[in-house]
Structure 1
Amino acid sequence: MTSSTAQTEGTGIWQSRYLWVTVGAVALIFLAAMQSLAVTTVMPVVSDDLDGDRLYAVAFAGILATSVIGMVAVGAWCDRGGVLAPLTTAVALFVAGLLVAGLAPTMPLLVAGRLVQGLGTGGQTVALYVVVARVYPGALHGRVFAAFSAAWVVPSLIGPFLAGAVTEFLHWRWVFLGVAALTVVAFAMVVARLHGLALHTDEPATGGVGRRLACAIAVAAGALGLSLAGEVGAWAWAVVAASVVVIGVASRPLLPRGTLRAARGLPSVVLMRGLIAGALFGAEIYVPYLLIDEYGFSPTWAGLGLTAAAVAWAGAAELQGRFGDRLGNVRITLIGLALLVASLAIAALTALLHLHPAVLIAGWGLAGGGMGLMYPRLTVLTLAYSTPSNQGFNSSALSISDSVGSASSIAVLGLAFTALVTTDAGFPAVFVIAGLLALAALVPGLRLGHAHETRG
């Protein structure tokens, strides 16, 4: 594809040929973003209402753990045929989990609903990545993923505030049930648009998937073990060590060869995604918690603490979609990680020195900017390194790294926070550990390589 053709097609994700696929995919991303931001905002209230403080971190880590199973299953399903059936199944599980969580009378049952939701969330993410790979030319992938990131703009502007308002003036249950209802409506429109498109691969993968599914279940069990380690008292760190070993061994067949040693190219792309996801999402759940617990914010206003980061994420993703090739992977890595580490340092200092909450909110926006540069770029690189027969595997590997990194980080940070919560060191420790994790991402970040990201 010539550069002029690429430039012409680069603005074409909203033209009639792709319009409804783009609208449908963005709608699903929008609702997932709305749900994620909403739950992060209201979970302190949910935990208090259901007397579930000890399961607070599990409510977040659990959905990420089971998402690994959904990713592997849907990735293998897509590599062997079409995308519509696995996407439909994933959405159904997502909605079912939301209903269970929204109607749960106890915290354990709410966590169970989150586990079911995770199966759908992971599968939906992989299926949408494969849709992008099979519907759009390579020159448009950056724009599509920029649009996915931009789908977080409206949720970031109204999601946390709306979730807090719904919780404050109605009930937190509607945060789950409302998203479930909207997802059903959105998918009813999406499925009609995808039906006449050629979404099957001409090079279907062969071979069994039983071993990979078993490994995915083991990884999920290890991640849940990390989350529940705090429940076993003095044996907590022994459970952590055992869970880390299980995750490390079981995840190897699910990831590109060389991922755990940061081999150049796709393995480093996948590893970096897990590290930055763990750094951000492991720390992010404590931002509204800090605003509510230490500064007396209401749920409505605490939700706004995430708005600056989400808006910055979307803006940076748009810049990456337009100028990512010009910036290059090394510059994106250095700029993105610098912003992320600076944000986590500001959060730690705010918690330690009891600075004005505006410092935390503004500083957290830097994290969004850094992630907006890096996140979609890593997805573009993954598809550029892929062939039609392994798009599902590579997409699921990227999402698995994302989820395992986040779940593991949330679990470990939860243990650290619980151990120090009676002191003034709980919140600062969370942000410092997350900052060290972000710094570790520099190793694979400088080994991303290039895979002709703009190929058509």
Structure 2
Amino acid sequence: MTAPKTLDTPYAPPRIFGPRYRTATLGILLVVTLIAFEGMSIGAVMPDVSKDLDALDLYGMSFSAFLIAGLFANVAAGLWSDRRGHAVPFLLGVALFVTGMVMAGAAGSKEVFIAARAVQGLGGGAVIVAIYVMIVRVYPPEARPRVFAGLSSAWVLPALVGPGLGGLIADTVGWRWVFYGIVPLVVPALVMLLPALRGGDGDAPEPGTGPRSRPLRMTLAALATAAGGGTLLYGVERLDTAPLPGGAATGAGLVLLAAGLPRLLPPKALRFGRGLPTTVMMRGVLASAFFGVNAFIPLVLKEEFGFSTTQAGVALTIGALGWSGGSYLQTRREFDRPTLVRLGATAVTAGILLTALALLPGMTGWIMAPAWMVAGFGMGIGTTSVSITTMRQSPDDEQGANSAALQVVDTLGGALTIGFGGVLVNLIGHDDIATGYIAIIAMTAAIGVLGTAVAGRMRDRP
């Protein structure tokens, strides 16, 4: 009897939970879960924070500060990781994230709380990018799809329980413990990741040579984009109370964005050029439409319908089931990805519009939960399809730059619509939250319609 040939032996890809990779995998998933929990629970507790710190006028900025700071950290951590490795940006990111959590828990004023959110954003933005690089350096190519699928799963549990659990913590021991409670859980994650922080099995990839691989250029562009987004939001928020300074800040913010943002994205992205440029931009379209409403649903439920923080969190949790379902469905077989993204944008738009039914006479606020499940379903099938298509369309030496571009448009899109939503609440909904929310719906639904119209341009050819 002859021995079986090598080609006859079934190939078993490495198991990410096998002995060799188990601790690294668990550490990565725990870190991402903690960041995700903070992101998912903050929406449920922000009404309490706003009340205790008299911060309704900075409601939107509390979200935008995190996102704007994270935008700069995405680019800086990516550049550092490509040239010096992922350990330093990861460890620095974790330290900043923990510092921001402690600052937020101890905040005695809205200004300190906004600063804490910015520090959290710097840490979270650096950690996420460093983890992506860590995966490439630690795991063999055939195992990486499973790890990235695990990252998506790490967002599911916080999406399901984060809002409700955050609301329960706020109602029982106070909103500050939503931030304090995460800090000790970081320690076991760091211990599990120590081997992965020392390096990986593979060699570090050669840095690209294009314009988006130049450290000084990209750092300045990231600074200009982050500063432009923050300055724009600052100016718009003050147009009603201080028109001249507010107008000047708004104009300066637009100039900074125009100078920095195009350099962080593929050519022709802002014009929705066919292929990769539109693919990257669709991530920002989906994020800006969805998160521009998601941040304000708890505020509407509490102020208009008398929901407790726990109830408002449960409503968001039910909506998150749609995201989980959409993410699972798109893995069942191979789909035409641009078609899925268009369907996703359509579902997000429909979910946004359906939440308005709660404001009709005689309707209950609970109708927002199934409506938001529809929007979440759209995000589940849309965002993953955008990521997959981006990697397929990216040359090898531009995958890092395009991954960073996805994070940039996701972060900036969400930050701007949440910030503008806060402006709308203050301008036309300060005494009537429902009116401000209707304006937010109109703004974000228009973005969703745009996404539905241009999703077909993700294809390289008509």
Q: Equivalent residue for 1:411?
A: 419
Task: Summarize the Cα distance change of 1:238–1:351 in structure 2 as closer, same or farther, 3 Å threshold.
Answer: farther
Q: Equivalent residue for 1:54?
A: 57
- Are the equivalent residues in 1 in contact too, given 2:344–2:377 (CA < 8 A)? yes
Task: Summarize the Cα distance change of 1:202–1:243 in structure 2 as closer, same or farther, 3 Å threshold.
Answer: closer
2:148 to 145, 154, 157: 145
> Which SS does the other structure have where 1:51 is aligned?
coil
Map 1:269-308 onto structure 2 (within 5 A): 269-308=279-318
| TM-score normalized with structure 1 length | 0.90
Deviation of residue 13 (structure 1)?
A: 4.1
- Are the equivalent residues in 2 in contact too, given 1:278–1:434 (CA < 8 A)? yes
- Are the equivalent residues in 2 in contact too, given 1:146–1:321 (CA < 8 A)? no
1:201 to 200, 204, 209: 204
Q: Equivalent residue for 1:400?
A: 408
Map 1:133-212 onto structure 2 (within 5 A): 133-136=136-139, 142-198=145-201, 200-205=203-208, 208-212=214-218
Q: Equivalent residue for 2:4?
A: none
Q: Take 1:170 and 1:404, find their aligned partners in 2: how far apart are those partners?
A: 33
1:230 to 237, 240, 248: 237
2:444 to 412, 415, 434: 434
Q: Take 1:134 and 1:267, find their aligned partners in 2: how far apart are those partners?
A: 27
CA RMSD of aligned residues (A): 2.6
Aligned length: 445
Q: Take 1:237 and 1:140, find their aligned partners in 2: how far apart are those partners?
A: 51
Deviation of residue 394 (structure 1)?
A: 1.9
The one-character-per-residue Cα deviations of 1:146-202 (angstroms, maximum 9, x if unpaired) are 322222232233222221121111121111111122123322322334435235423
Q: Take 2:331 and 2:19, find their aligned partners in 1: how far apart are those partners?
A: 21
Q: Take 2:16 and 2:9, find their aligned partners in 1: how far apart are those partners?
A: 14
Q: Take 1:36 and 1:162, find their aligned partners in 2: how far apart are those partners?
A: 13
Structure of higher CA gyration radius: 2
Task: Summarize the Cα distance change of 1:200–1:41 in structure 2 as closer, same or farther, 3 Å threshold.
Answer: farther
Q: Equivalent residue for 1:122?
A: 125
1:264 matched to 2:274? The reply is yes
- Are the equivalent residues in 2 in contact too, given 1:62–1:115 (CA < 8 A)? yes
1:113 matched to 2:123? The reply is no
Q: Relative contact order, CA 8 A, sep 6+: which one is greater?
A: 1
Task: Summarize the Cα distance change of 1:201–1:444 in structure 2 as closer, same or farther, 3 Å threshold.
Answer: farther
Q: Equivalent residue for 1:100?
A: 103
Deviation of residue 435 (structure 1)?
A: 1.0
- Are the equivalent residues in 1 in contact too, given 2:134–2:196 (CA < 8 A)? no
Task: Summarize the Cα distance change of 1:358–1:311 in structure 2 as closer, same or farther, 3 Å threshold.
Answer: same
Q: Take 1:107 and 1:6, find their aligned partners in 2: how far apart are those partners?
A: 60
Q: Equivalent residue for 1:79?
A: 82
- Are the equivalent residues in 2 in contact too, given 1:83–1:199 (CA < 8 A)? no
Letter of the structure 1 residue corresponding to residue 35 of structure 2: A
- Are the equivalent residues in 2 in contact too, given 1:152–1:310 (CA < 8 A)? no
Map 1:35-46 onto structure 2 (within 5 A): 35-46=38-49
The one-character-per-residue Cα deviations of 1:124-166 (angstroms, maximum 9, x if unpaired) are 2222223344445666655433322222232233222221121
Unmatched runs of 5 consecutive residues or more in structure 2: 1-7
Q: Equivalent residue for 1:351?
A: 359
Task: Summarize the Cα distance change of 1:281–1:7 in structure 2 as closer, same or farther, 3 Å threshold.
Answer: farther
Task: Summarize the Cα distance change of 1:268–1:225 in structure 2 as closer, same or farther, 3 Å threshold.
Answer: same
1:214 matched to 2:220? The reply is yes
Task: Summarize the Cα distance change of 1:267–1:16 in structure 2 as closer, same or farther, 3 Å threshold.
Answer: farther
- Are the equivalent residues in 2 in contact too, given 1:381–1:450 (CA < 8 A)? no
> Which SS does the other structure have where 1:333 is aligned?
helix
